[in-house]
A and B are shown apart, each in its own frame.
Chain A
Amino acid sequence: MADDPRPLSPHLQIYRPQVTSVLSITHRLTGVVLAFAALLLTYWLASAAYGPESFARAQAVLESWFGRLVLFGFTFSLFYHLCNGIRHLGWDLGWGFDLVKLRLTGVLVIIASMGLTVLSWMLAYGHVGKL
């Protein structure tokens, strides 16, 4: 079946990216990213279960610049997936399908997820007291 040269419809390369399509694929992308975040969470919990030394090592890795960069990406992925997930649940309830609402909620998702990410990191740094 795969060898049969059937006609294909124009795909991603043809269509102009729109708010709706870009947000849709980003939802999937952040979902996959969050699966890796879940693995990191398990590693973090396991490191604490192994004792103070391994937990201190895990904390040192996470607090390095690279660790922070990864965690920042995970934070944004979480808030994006969460906000856009609420948008999805709205659609499941039959709300927000017309183009105006579709674009408005899409822009709101982008603003909210960025805002919540920055806010969380400001609060975290404020908690440690070294902004």
Chain B
Amino acid sequence: MVNTPQSNRELRSKLGRVRGMGSTREGVHHWWAQRMSAVALLPLSLWFVYSLITLTGSDYASFHAWMSEFGNAVFTVLLLVAMFHHAQLGLTVVIEDYVHSELWKMGMLLVVKYGSVLFAASGIFAVLKISLAG
């Protein structure tokens, strides 16, 4: 073991090892982004469940009053951003694992990526409209 010439058995080039980007050429970015958004979602989702409990059965007036509060609007926007980012990352892996037809895979990834941006933008705009409209 001590004198085994490692360089003869290493298939990766030295440059490839230094860059550390792996076979997919994106390194640990996807993995890291999923963890970062997950950690953000821990407090955000707990806050959101608590909020929904207090909002149970509320009419428009009380919901409008709740959303008009600075912190509630900001946290809801943050929740939407972290949630759709995290969902998109997760669904991407699920699709890559189970959908083997290239065409279907590309199509579904497109729907998930664009869809998450569309719905996040819609949610954020809705929050702004509710909270900023008198």
Chain A residues close to B by CB (< 8 Å)? 2, 28, 31-32, 34-35, 38-39, 41-42, 45-46, 48-49, 51-52, 55-56, 59, 63, 75, 78, 82, 85-86, 88-89, 92, 120, 123-125, 127-128
- Do A56 and B127 touch (CB < 8 A)? no
Are the C-beta atoms of B60 and A52 separated by less than 8 Å?
A: yes
Interface of A is mostly: helix
* B76 surroundings in chain A (CB, below 8 A): 45
Secondary structure of the B contact surface, majority rule: helix
Cα-based distance from A108 to B98 in the complex (angstroms)? 29
Residues of B in contact (CB 8 Å), total: 38
Q: Which of A38, A45, A92 contacts B87 (CB 8 A)?
A: A38
CB B10 to nearest CB in A, in angstroms, measures: 25
Contact A31/B67 with A41-B123, A52-B60, A120-B53 known, Cβ cut-off 8 Å: no
Complex contact B94–A31 (CB within 8 A): yes
Which of A31, A34, A48, A78 meets B130, CB within 8 Å? A48
Interface residues of B (CB under 8 A from A): 35, 38-39, 41-42, 45-46, 49, 52-54, 56-61, 63-64, 67, 76, 80, 83-84, 87, 90-91, 94, 100, 119-120, 122-123, 125-127, 129-130
Residue of B nearest to A55 (CB): B60
CA distance A85 to B90 in the complex (A): 12
